[in-house]
Structure 1
Amino acid sequence: MKKILCLFLAAVFVLAGAGVAAGADEAPAAQGEFVPVIRFVASSDTHVKEDDDTNAKRIPMMMEIAYARAQADPSYTNLDALIVAGDLTDQGTKKCFDNFWEAVSGSLRDGTRFLGVAAKNHDGWNMSRRDVHEYYKSLTGNDPDFHVVINGFHFIGLSASDDDAQHYDSKQLSWLKEQFDAAIKEDPNKPVFFIHHEHNRDTVYGSSFFDGWGITNFKSILNNYPQVVDFSGHSHYPLNDPRSVWQGKYTAIGTGAIYYSEFTIDESRAYDPPDCAETATFWLVELDASNNMRLRGYDVNENKLLVEYMMKNPADPANRDFAQDKIKAKSSAPAFAPGTQIQTEPQFGGCKATVHKADSTDTMPVTLYRFYAKNSLGITLAKDWVLPDYYRAIEQDEIEYTFENLPAGEYTISVVAENAYGMQSPSVETKVTLEGETGIKAVLMVLTSFFKGIIDFVVHLF
């Protein structure tokens, strides 16, 4: 028994703040020693539409993955609940809700409880929120605000207020505090799960004021309850980004999305990559008898594991291994393999640059590549970033970018790889001679690039 406990604790310390690589098999250290006493799906932003809907089809796909993982665990085969943290529908019509519930109810097996909340956002587009709540309850049999207990764990959910002018009203906030007090009185050492749609401001990736997807309604309440584990969506920011799990006075977890992924990169907020609609992710959450929590994030379309975390009992305020400053301190810059070269294809006024992907030097993904073009005087005439597909369980071996509108001359093309915390690899460089504009047009192009760089710098400061 002592040996098993030591192995488990070792696994906890190794995995705390770290994730497995995209598409990897289940981590062996997390299989044998962790015995769940509860298991549930945590998802959001299903955005089910009225007609011919890919999103609705992803719900049974998600549940098949979750049930398969549950059945593969001989120590505990149950899947106890399905959480959907708002934006159940895309347009908020009765037809959308009908399609959503048809997909959910057709996917649930005996013993799995549905726990969903309706959001202020898409769920309220075509009906008053009071009508949304009434129709939701008529379909699901669930109250839009709920407090249920499953296997001794408390789940508390808040839908958007009946008042269309508010996210959440004062009556709801008072009720929420009462529910937290009751749950914690029963067992102050056990996590309490809170489900709502919008992130809490300045917690997980996507929740900052600049990102635009965070709210402050719950801050004064949550700061008093270290036992809370908060699940929220709304941003669609990727769940396998290390910034999507946060610990401070409580624990917050971003749920990704069943429909599309979004990002903030430098001054670009709400950036949607070209393949964003092809993404669908969810968490499979488990806790053991000591309240330690295992989080496994899956790519629905690829049926592969994206990331796995092991978290020591989050109800204990002494357990804060996922505080962002701690995760950042454990992370390290990516690195290109020795001998990596940039392949260039010159063309008039520019060139295509291709480089083999960099490697992570920890367990976190490479989240960005930055490309630069400097002229013979060392002046950067062009720069841009490329977002790799780290948010999907697919292999992307080559990273490419095409420079355009460069004047004729000799250039140094360079690339750096970057992690979620801005730590950069040593650069890979190559020289190339380009044909392009000369004379006054070339001078104007250089001046335009120079002043654009100054503007970008000033914007970044503010």
Structure 2
Amino acid sequence: MIKIFRFLVSCLLSGILFTVYANEPAVRFAVISDTHFGNPVALTKVPQSLKVLLSKKPVVDAIFVVGDLTNNGTREQYEQLMSVFADKSLIPEGVTVYLMMGNNHDKTNEAGREYFLEITGQPLRYYADIHGFPFIAFSEGGGDLNEFNKDAKQWLEKTMADAAKKYPGKPIFSFSHVSPLNTCYGTLSSEGWGTGLFLPVYNQYPQAVVFGGHSHFPIGDPRSINQQTFTSINDGGLYYSEVAFGEITMGIHPENNNHVAEGLIVNVFSNNDIEIERWDTYRDEEILPRWKMNAPYDGSQFRYKGYNGLPVPAFASGAKLTGKQDGNRYEVTFPQATDNDVVFRYFIEFLENDKVVYSYSKFSQFYLNSEMPKVLSQTLSGLPYGKTLTPRIVAADSYNNRSEPLTGEVFTLPRYAPDRKTKLPVACSDMTTGSYLNAFSVEAKLKVTTEQQFISPFKQTENGRPGFNKAADGRITFSVPIGKRNKTVVCPVILNAGQEYHLVATYEKAAGKLQLYVNGALVGEETVVATDFPVFPNDKFSLPADISVYNNALSNDEIWLLYRKSKVRDTR
């Protein structure tokens, strides 16, 4: 009896061991990007991420580091990079590291290329065989955004054709910093982080599995994998996270975006199937579910093609929206909804007679994974004075599928009462550059159309010009070139076509503020660095109709008086 029991146990253990061995990947590799050595956190985040990825068993055969290795492509930054990737206590023997240069951060058309070749000792392009599977990786070769050497496409065409011939039926893995245009999250034309240069090549090979970084967009978003004619994958980034412009009201850098670091581990099996693990390396947590791809790679097994994210998100039964009013400010608090993938954002809306007059989109912070807050709060300012409103929250996933709403209690806003001593400000008829470097205000009346609209009293400069921009969806912004880039304040108020609005933007260097007012109410504010100056043309400007400029930052009371004088009726 004992012998029979031992025999059965032996058979069971043998079966378990055989199953584990049979499911061992033939190739296992990691993919990371956007290490940005030279930034303050690279020497902490990158080693931490490597420790997380290399602690998973079995240990990977290779690590692909897909561009933006450094911030500025200096010798010191490349030496920092190699102090980490040459550290055998981090990367054990038998793990091969493949480094690729990114775009202008790595200075690919300047001395940075020479530093890369000298200090890393690696080539600009790779065509490798790892355990019987083809791997193609290449650096960018220009100095501008999304720029490659002129012969990069020709080289890729030749290499892909060779891989397809030598490795029939197998996936072909390709790596470069910028992903193919209009494929995975971050590469849409509207998002600005893709390149169309290689699409004619990859479109010929449904077995191509292409990895890229560049956008810093989170890999927890299901749009980070895309299968149309081939597979395109966003690998996230280690420096910080980002989302597309216009997806949320606060801009492209949401709350806690510096508490994010992400990477991939890819398992390739002997039957050519692929399983991709997504890792939050900041918290050492796997992001589920795993992405899976099955042979044959002829397009017939593309499970992510046409994926639409359904069903819609949902709030738990009994979930409530609570609110707290303070003047024309209102704080909403609500529990997070759930989704089969992720809830991407929430539309915080205020309705008057069932018409949305104010809308703010708030990020869910799903990229924090286990640390994602269970309850969200947001204080909204600039609600229209004297109106009676109903608050509403709608959850939306990455594909903008929307939940049933949570609705709060109706409330009434007070009427605005300016200080009676306030005088109507006087506009400047002529103003040179020096008089508005420290403070200015721009006033405009805008009749909204269904098209995009831009109004400005200033001429074009190299970095743009200050002005109001109304997008086709009714959103209004005010942008001003400050320092080396535009600073933009976004208004959550929806402007309705056919109606007229009174707009004022103010800038005050000492206070470090850029503010936007609609119909006398403050609706948006951005912080500006006090050491930077607005960049305007040196010549005088001529004022279009219905635009006035002031050489100081107007007060709320002054702006209210201008609004009342404009005779614009608040139809919000």
Identify the TM-score tier after normalising by the shorter chain. 0.7 to 0.9
Give 2:364's match in structure 1, choosing from 379, 388, 392. Answer: 388
Determine if contact 1:281/1:299 at 8 Å carries over to the other structure: yes
Question: Which residue does the alignment assign to 1:445?
Answer: none
- Alignment pair present for 1:249 and 2:232: no
Say if 1:461 and 1:176 are closer, same or farther in 2 by CA, change over 3 A: farther
Q: Which moved more, 1:289-298 or 1:173-182?
A: 173-182
The amino acid of 1:36's aligned partner reads P
Which runs of 5 or more structure 1 residues have no equivalent in the other structure?
1-29, 71-76, 442-447
Matched AA of 1:203: T
Alignment partners' CA distance in 1, 2:70 and 2:295: 34
The 1:317/1:334 distance shift into structure 2, 3 A limit, reads: same
Question: Residues 59 and 104 of structure 1 are in contact (CA less than 8 Å); yes or no, is this contact kept in structure 2?
Answer: no
Structure with higher Rg: it is 2
Which residue identity does 1:312 align to in structure 2?
N
1:316 aligns with 2:298: yes
Residue by residue, what CA displacement relative to the aligned partner does 1:78-117 show, whole Å, maximum 9, x if unpaired?
A: 3111111100011211111110111122121111111121
TM-score (norm 2): 0.67
Q: Is the 8 A contact 2:53 2:281 kept in 1?
A: no
Q: Distance in 1 between matches of 2:182 and 2:76?
A: 35
Q: Give the aligned partner of residue 16 of structure 1.
A: none
Does the 8 Å contact 2:54/2:91 carry over to 1? no
Q: Looking at both structures, which has the greater relative contact order when contacts are Cα pairs under 8 Å and sequence separation is at least 6?
A: 1
TM-superposed CA distance for 1:382, in Å, is 1.5
Gaps of 5+ in 2: 1-18, 420-443, 453-469, 476-572
1:112: which partner in 2?
Answer: 95
Conserved 8 A contact 1:283-1:295 = yes
| CA-to-aligned-CA distance 1:382-407 (integer Å, 9 cap, x gap) | 21110011122223111222122222
SS at match of 1:58: helix
What is the CA–CA distance in structure 2 between the aligned matches of 1:104 and 1:401, rounded to whole Å? 42
Residue number in structure 1 paired with 2:48: 61
SS at match of 2:332: strand
Separation in structure 2 between the aligned mates of residue 209 and residue 55 of structure 1, nearest angstrom: 30
1:356 match: 335
State which of 129, 136, 142 in structure 2 corresponds to 1:156.
Answer: 136
Is residue 122 of structure 1 aligned with residue 111 of structure 2?
no
Q: State the match for 2:194 in structure 1.
A: 214
- 2:174 is the alignment partner of 1:194: yes
Determine if contact 2:255/2:365 at 8 Å carries over to the other structure. no
Decide whether the 8 Å contact of 2:74 with 2:115 is kept in 1: no
Amino acid at match of 1:103: V
- Once residues 407 and 184 of structure 2 are traced to their aligned partners in structure 1, the CA distance between those partners, rounded to angstroms, is 35
Is contact 1:292-1:312 (8 Å) kept?
yes
C-alpha distance 345-220 of structure 1, shift in aligned 2 (>3 A): same
AA paired with 1:436? P
Query: Which residue type is aligned with residue 333 of structure 1?
Result: V
Report the Cα offset of residue 229 of structure 1.
Answer: 0.7
Q: Please give the secondary structure, in 2, of the residue aligned with 1:276.
A: coil
**What is the RMSD computed on CA atoms of the aligned residues?**
2.9
1:21-53 CA distances to partner (integer Å, 9 max, x unpaired)? xxxxxxxxx989842111111111111116xx3
1:133 corresponds to:
113
**CA offset at residue 64 of structure 1?**
1.4
Post-superposition CA distance 1:213-251 (Å, at most 9, x none) = 111110111111122110011111111111110112111
The share of aligned pairs that are identical, in percent, is 24
Secondary structure of 2:187's match?
coil
Q: TM-score, normalised by structure 1?
A: 0.82
Matched residue count: 410
Aligned to 2:424: none
Partners of 2:141 and 2:215 in 1: CA distance:
20
* Worse-matched range after superposition: 106-115 or 307-316: 307-316
Q: Which structure: greater helix fraction? A: 1
In 2: Cα distance, 1:41 partner to 1:237 partner = 18
Residue in 2 that maps onto 1:430: 408
Equivalent residue for 1:404, pick from 378, 381, 389: 381
Q: Quickly say closer, same or farther: Cα 1:163–1:334, change in 2 above 3 A.
A: closer
The Cα shift of 1:316 comes to 3.4
Write the mapping of 1:342-381 to structure 2, written as runs, cut at 5 A.
342-360=321-339, 362=340, 364-375=341-352, 377-381=353-357
- Does the Cα contact within 8 Å between 2:185 and 2:224 map onto a contact in 1? yes
